[in-house]
Structure 1
Amino acid sequence: MVFIDNLEAEISSMKTILTTGSNGLLGQKITEKVLAEGRVKLVATSKGDNRYPVKDGYEYAEMDILKSDEVREVIEKYQLDAIIHTAAMTNVDTCEANKELCNQLNVDAVQTLLSICEEKNIQLIHLSTDFVFDGAEGPYREEDAVNPVSYYGESKVLAEELLKNSEASWAVLRTILVYGITNDMSRSNIVLWAKGALEKSSPVNVVKDQWRMPTLAEDLAEACLLAVEKNAQGIYHVSGKDYMSIAGLVRKVADYWALDQSLINEISSVSLNQTAKRPVKTGFVLDKTIKDLGYNPHSFEEGLAILDRQMKKNY
């Protein structure tokens, strides 16, 4: 009887969170973590049908973040403690080419959520990016000055400013080059792209003059839940722990899966002639997130091993 009482008390004290973009890589990893570990009660939301293979153990609601009435209706249905906002327009060149849509998805939608969170005293965990920086002096600390070189980065700075100027309880988690795999993914990522191309013996062009700290999706999902549990406030940098060039990253992928490195052609960024400019060297100093949230990221090699086990088991 005492055990049952304690269990009921534990469940009732759990926070209830809502995720936007739950069909995306990060959204699915949060769902996976909640189902495996408990910790919070989850309401997953995304545009269209639920693509996560397990349908029990959490709520799912269709929600288009561009429809403010729909967003309000879904949020008001639940007694929420926090919202983890993962939905965004993240293709850097598409954002540059279609600034209006980028602004709607990356700025206006944040304002919608923020207004409701202020009104209902809900914590908002917002996902941002290393692209808020110009890449001249990375790795960066949370307090370093932002200076985006693309409209994608600019839209994320605008969203961060909305949070800073609000009365809501909020935390921004900036991240870098997220990789991982799920059962039903709408987009690939650099690790899966490189592995897939090299396995087909296709030559790949990769830039040698951009530097990043790739982030395992499971690590980012853990940081999101830690931010809720610890009621994080302010800006936090969340990435993997290893600093490398994009070309170096692809070589590590080739090395891990024993693929042909002679297929890797290292090129300069200017030769790509991309629509949007990219920062040269980003990367994060993780000290604050490790100290305040207890964040403990995997190494890149550990992340590849996790990915390898998942692909052998499930995909």
Structure 2
Amino acid sequence: MNKLLPITIFSLLFIIGCENFFGDRNDSGDPYAYDMLLYDLEQDLALSSKQISDSKDFLRNGRDFFPDNASLWKLASYLQQNLTQEQKERLLSPPEDLISEEITEENDYHHKRLRHHHRMDEFIRSILSADQLSDYNEMVTYKKDALDEVYNDLKAGSQTKKEAYREMMGVMEWFRAAMDKLLTDDQKSLLEEMHKQKDDHWRKSKGGYGKHAKNHEKMKQEMYDVLGMSAEQISTLESLEASFKSSLELLHDNFVNGVVDYTPEEYILSVGSIIDSFHEDKIIVFDTVQLEIIEIHRAIARRFMKHSRWGHKGR
């Protein structure tokens, strides 16, 4: 009997895994967000049993990158290969329950320029002077009206997704630049500290980040690997992205420092020109399959962020 005990324990460890046996769990990733994403896809696309099962595996494997959308690249590649054409069209079309805040922030996040100014309204108001508050109210009203107009045009079909995303990014880039011009250095420090507190609170409530969630090199490499990008493609893309970011930052800095005195409309048009140039150069870097994977990734990222970032409980 004693001789059988080590064998039995070893067998148990082999079956259930050492980490689970000792009570250590991998808390990276948010099961709710992944479950709800899968539910959305199942409902919207009428996934088959095999598609659901396979998708679960890809979501489970992506938890090391939670909450970043890098966790979805392998799933996007799988869907590109295994969805029917009808399912792809449904996935890539604007959903009926589209919310302007969602597509605005998803677009913002996609370009890695999220600063949360538009999600900190109450705190921002508490640190502004009376004169600043008046300017801030005008800025917020303009931003809301501009985004609502773009959102309504997209939903009505009078704008393409590409046109809508360009306009939305233009509005958000202007708003961030206007905020940086409005706030003092001390106010910006207070805002950054509040961001950190909210981020820490969110992290605790969600179970923490995946082990690669803040490793930007690994996140980029995940995309490169899934897309099967060549060294030449990667080099060209990184050069284009650096130039794109530099152009936006130059516009931002010139506006904040008073080198240019653009109206909101002029600033938004300038951003649009930068985006158009970047998009035209970027699109020729990828082949047809890679571009489709990128579009699918973006479509599922919007659905994923609805649950992982915005905290919506269901539809």
- TM-score, length-normalised on structure 1? 0.29
- TM-score, length-normalised on structure 2? 0.29
Q: Whose RCO is larger (CA < 8 A, sep 6+)?
A: 2
Which protein has the larger Cα radius of gyration, Structure 1 or Structure 2? 2
Q: Which has the higher helix share?
A: 2
